[in-house]
């Protein structure tokens, strides 16, 4: 069995060492133009040349949960794409979102500013019942975030492109689905968390029309993709006072350009795409398990993380 590694912007040696240790029966190599055909590939943002030169791959294993960059390439019919279905990212995402929600709800940002200014002050406690959190995207990450927020007794709403069963982590979540129920979901939410996959249908979904439907004083947390958000629309709603603020971890251009107005806006909290980092050891172990399952004859359609390329997730 031959496995090739092609990950743009990623140091290859630690991954190659990990994959070779996890799959000693396989030949694991770093891809270079003209390389011989492989059975499987471990990838992140590979060039089109890689896809063109490896048309016989049984599966592309993406070292992340988001596959939008991969699906922009011309993939041969029948080439399967498998994303990470967790690998330690869901708990990181839950941590990040909970701290952002709590920081806003408890007004810790204002308390920090007061202390920097030498001011000792208190504010009236706010009610959790007034801060319903709406989660857009109820996959592995969204479900884990919903579960974590409920531990802090926030009301949680959820919205997805298609209906999700109200069971497990979603049993106590008020679920909405489809375009018809999006307005009701937004109107029921004061804090909006975006965890949607980036597709043609979801690009620019965080715009003036949708964000203005949030409850007055709404707050936005974007941890999915920068292209979900129309930057100018967010700024306009912040400046008008309809939105109280936002925490942004992802941006249309990364790193965020030096002159971008987000840098110095007083109602924004920014982080450098760090809400849920890929954990290499966990990812290698998950990919190795899946490759072994395929080698043992498991149908790829039964495997967690297989992407429906027609839907984009």
Question: Is 106 a known active-site residue?
Answer: no
- pTM score, whole prediction: 0.94
Query: Phi and psi dihedrals of 135, rounded to 5?
Result: -110, 120
**Active-site residue, from 225, 242, 260, 292:** 225
Degrees to nearest 5, angle at CA 187 with 185 and 192: 65
Chain mean pLDDT for the chain:
96
The helix-helix angle for 280-295 and 12-22 (nearest 10°) equals: 40
pLDDT in tens, 69-119: 999 999 999 899 999 988 899 999 999 999 999 999 999 999 999 999 999
Higher-pLDDT residue of 64, 222? 222
Residue 144 is inside which H or E element, if any? helix 140-151
pLDDT in tens, 147-181: 999 999 999 999 999 999 888 889 999 999 999 99
Number of other CB atoms surrounding residue 196 within 10 Å: 26
Question: Is 225 a known active-site residue?
Answer: yes
**Active-site residue, from 273, 277, 280, 292:** 273
**Distance between CA 205 and CA 219 in Å, rounded?**
16
Q: What domains appear along the chain, each with residue ranges and CATH number? A: 2-87+278-302 (3.40.50.720), 90-270 (3.40.50.720)
């Amino acid at each position: 069995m031959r496995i090739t590694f092609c990950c743009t912007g990623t140091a290859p040696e630690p991954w190659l060492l990990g994959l070779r240790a996890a799959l000693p029966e396989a030949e694991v190599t770093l891809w270079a133009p003209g390389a011989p055909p492989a059975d499987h590939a471990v990838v992140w943002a590979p060039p089109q040349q890689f896809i063109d030169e490896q048309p016989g791959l049984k599966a592309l294993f993406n070292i992340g949960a988001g596959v939008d960059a991969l699906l922009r390439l011309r993939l041969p019919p029948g080439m399967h794409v498998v994303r990470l279905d967790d690998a330690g990212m869901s708990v990181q995402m839950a941590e990040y979102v909970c701290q952002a929600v709590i920081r806003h709800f408890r007004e810790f940002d204002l308390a920090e500013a007061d202390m920097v200014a030498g001011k000792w002050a208190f504010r009236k406690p706010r009610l959790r019942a007034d801060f319903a959190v709406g989660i857009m995207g109820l996959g592995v990450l969204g479900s884990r975030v919903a579960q974590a927020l409920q531990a802090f007794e926030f009301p949680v709403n959820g919205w997805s492109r298609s209906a999700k069963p109200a069971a497990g982590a979603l049993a106590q979540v008020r679920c909405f689905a489809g375009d018809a129920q999006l307005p009701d979901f937004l109107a029921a939410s004061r804090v909006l968390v975006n965890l949607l996959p980036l597709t043609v249908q979801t690009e620019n979904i965080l715009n003036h029309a949708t964000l203005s439907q949030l409850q007055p004083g709404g707050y936005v947390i974007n941890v999915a993709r920068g292209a979900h958000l129309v930057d100018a629309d967010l700024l306009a709603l912040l400046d008008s006072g309809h939105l109280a603020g936002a925490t942004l971890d992802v941006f249309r251009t990364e790193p965020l350009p030096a002159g971008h107005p987000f840098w110095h806006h007083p109602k924004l909290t920014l982080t450098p795409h760090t809400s849920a980092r890929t954990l290499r050891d966990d990812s290698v172990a998950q990919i190795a398990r899946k490759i072994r399952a395929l080698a043992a004859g498991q149908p790829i359609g039964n495997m967690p993380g297989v992407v429906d390329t027609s839907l984009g997730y």
